[in-house]
Amino acid sequence: MFSQFDTEIPIRPDDIDMNNHVHNTKYLDYVLAARYIQMTENYKMPMDQFADLNYNLVISTSHIDFKRALKVTDKIIVRTQIDSISGAQCKVNFWVLLKSSNKISAEGYIVYTLISLTSGRPVRIPEAIIEVYSV
């Protein structure tokens, strides 16, 4: 029902930890950067449109399974796909792939919750937004 989108994200030298590979905290940054790009390029509804509608997306849950290390010289692709939309929440699956081999470096999911900027409370995702993201 939902499309997969791939976005290449650069690994920066400051992403590398003392073990000479990408620090585990950077993987979530890569996924968030990819989703931000995909909101504009693939869904045609960038984050600023949510703010214009008085909404914001916050992360309720994130889960990452690490499979293989990444180094500064690696090229990566972040693949995402909406898994489900229910009430105020949207679950997005992701895979961080080594571009050269298409092998999974990490995989997991993020649950986003739509909130009202006025109340700060969760609100049901409107059908118009679900339609835009159901490509």
Q: What is the CATH number of the domain that holds 45?
A: 3.10.129.10
What would the 3-class secondary structure string for 61-115 be? EEEEEECCCCCCCCCEEEEEEEEEEECCEEEEEEEEEECCCCCEEEEEEEEEEEE
Instruction: Give the model confidence (pLDDT) of 4-43 as tens digits.
Output: 999 999 999 999 999 999 999 999 999 999 999 999 999 9
Percent pLDDT > 90 in the chain is 99
Q: Quote the pTM value.
A: 0.95
Domain range enclosing 99:
4-133
pLDDT digits (tens, 9 = 90+) for 74-114: 999 999 999 999 999 999 999 999 999 999 999 999 999 99
Which residues contact residue 56 at a Cβ distance below 8 angstroms, ignoring those fewer than 6 apart?
A: 50, 114, 115, 117
Q: Report the alpha-carbon distance of residue 43 to residue 24 in Å, rounded.
A: 28
- Going by pLDDT thresholds of 50, 70 and 90, the confidence category of residue 1 is confident
Domains: count for the chain = 1
What pLDDT was estimated at residue 60?
A: 98
- Sequence letter at residue 27: Y
The pLDDT of residue 54 is: 97
